[in-house]
Amino acid sequence: MTIMPNSVEARDMAYQMHPMVNLRKYEKSGGLVIESGDGIYVTDNTGKRYIEGLAGLWSVALGFGEKRLAEVAKAQMEKLPYYHSFSYKTHGPSIDLAEMLVKIAPVPMSKVHFTSSGSEANDLACKMVWYRSNALGKKDKKKIIGRIKGYHGVTIAAGSITGLPRNHESFDLPLDRMVHTSCPSYVHFGLEGESEADFTKRMLKDLEDLILKEGAETIAAFWGEPVMGAGGVLMPSDGYWAGVQAILKKYDILLVADEVICGFGRTGKMFACETLGIEPDVLVVSKQISSSYMPLSAIIMNDHFYQPIADESDRIGVFGHGFTASGHPVATAVGLENLKIIQERDLVGNAARLEEKFLGGLAELAKHPLAHSSRGIGLLGALEIKPWADANAGDAAAAIAAACQDEGLIIRNIGEAICFCPPLIITAEQIDDMFGAVARALDTVQAAHA
């Protein structure tokens, strides 16, 4: 692409430092400028339209043109554009949303604390875990178990719980208090000849061995996405979550479920904890909570978690934490309206009803010579790519993602997979369009490398 001086691309390259790119490469290549959106589509500044197969960053449940969210935001901006929730102040939108979240939570929960991003929510949940251990007089019970390939964000604590090397390298992470156990994806980590049941047993043994090695009295919490997202849409093996929960109970370890991607319908139930039988003490949510129209996240906690924290704040005199934007009135008003729309239009049911078609379409694509296998749940899935002989790991998936973009489909390549997480409003016909673009992209790449 030729970049004209003073064009929007040139100014972007001159002034903006982007996340999750090779910065040197960006200085030369720039990025795709997205200008508008509607439904499951976004349009770039040349007028080319794309299906957004990853719903932005796994987040735009309602698609890109939901007018009701814009109207609610405008009305809230005009009524009370900003207020905080510090120092014994509160406001309606945050109260309404907190009440709704407690009511729809998959297990009995008692309190909600608002933050603005998934990283912030996980970071704070980690601080709360430490605060709570101190409240209980368990000064040494501070370690957190994350998982290899788990993703919980990029702030210092959340980034440390994340189990992906690229989020640690040169950032001096992880912190010493964070340890990582094995990734429960049978497809990726099952051994030759090992059954799925034996694999699950091995995963659980790894976890228990880690707890015993570190000392159970030093471990405060286990963090996990019900289905791993940014690690590459990695499914937990059969029996994994039931086994993990039994071990955590045995050693008095809290369970934090990070539903930042899975929450609000992605897996065909309101929460993946329902889909997979997980009973967390703390639930972290973001993204689809507001369809990402406004930055918003929340920590939803049970009484067992909350009560010691409240006691400690009483002893100290204050819960010494808070963000200026916690419970922001515009963000929480938009979040509430977004969840009402998800319920009114039964978009959770839409994900459940389309699951068979979506996973069936992926399984069809997996028959392509360049594909290896497929996996997924609800409207979250991945196609594992089989690289051609001289391709480096990941290059083939990157080439296919680029070819998809040429075909008018934006998706994400992670490792050797291409990942799908379309807006929850997607229809059966649009799933056909999306996979049609993938099939053409696979053929193009295969022709280039045959």
Q: Which residues of this chain interact with ligand PMP, rule CB under 6 A? A: 57, 117-119, 122, 151-153, 225, 229-230, 258, 260-261, 286
Q: Which is nearer to ligand PMP, 114 or 435 (CB)?
A: 114
Residue of 141, 140, 183, 177 whose CA lies nearest to 157:
177
Q: Does residue 177 contact residue 142 with C-beta atoms inside 8 Å?
A: yes
Q: Minimum distance between the CB of residue 218 and ligand PMP, rounded to whole angstroms?
A: 24
Nearest distance from C-beta of residue 122 to ligand PMP, angstroms: 6
> What is the Cα–Cα distance from 402 to 404, expressed in whole angstroms?
5
Output 224 or 361, the one with its CB closest to ligand PMP: 224
Backbone angles phi, psi at 125, to 5 degrees: -60, -35
Residue type, 364: E
- In the sheet that 412-414 helps form, which strands lie side by side, from edge to edge? 371-377, 380-385, 417-420, 412-414
Q: Closest distance between ligand PMP and the C-beta of residue 72, in Å?
A: 21
- Please, which residue, 109 or 154, has the CB nearer to ligand PMP? 154
Q: At 157, which helix (H) or strand (E)?
A: helix 156-161
* List of E strands, 280-407: 282-285, 297-301, 371-377, 380-385
Residue among 418 and 445 whose Cβ is closer to ligand PMP = 418
| Smallest distance, ligand PMP to C-beta of residue 273, A | 13
Closest CB 153 distance from ligand PMP, rounded Å:
3
**Apex 43 CA angle, 40 and 49, nearest 5:** 75
Whether the CB-CB separation of 284 and 297 falls below 8 Å is answered with yes
**Looking at beta carbons only, is 9 or 120 nearer to ligand PMP?**
120
CB 258 to ligand PMP: min, Å: 5
Return the number of the residue (66 or 259) whose C-beta is nearest ligand PMP.
259
Closer of 300 and 365 to ligand PMP (Cβ): 300
**Phi then psi for 169, rounded to 5 degrees?**
-60, 130
What Cα–Cα distance (Å) separates residue 121 from each residue in 14, 154, 227? Answer: 32, 11, 18
Minimum distance of ligand PMP from residue 256's CB (angstroms) = 11
| 54: phi then psi, degrees, rounded to nearest 5 | -115, 10
Centre a 10 Å sphere on the Cβ of residue 249 and count the other Cβ atoms it contains.
Answer: 11
Give me the residue whose beta carbon is nearest to ligand PMP. 118
Kindly tell me which of 94 and 119 has the beta carbon lying closer to ligand PMP.
119
105 vs 370, which CB is nearer to ligand PMP? Answer: 105
Determine how many CB atoms are found less than 10 A away from the CB of residue 412: 21
- Count CB neighbours of 147 within 10 A: 27
Least distance CB 117 / ligand PMP (angstroms): 3
Quote the least distance from Cβ 449 to ligand PMP, whole Å.
Answer: 31
Per-residue tokens: 432: 């056909």
Task: Return the structure tokens found at 161.
Answer: 């719980």
Listing DSSP states for 413-430 in one string gives EETTEEEE---TT--HHH
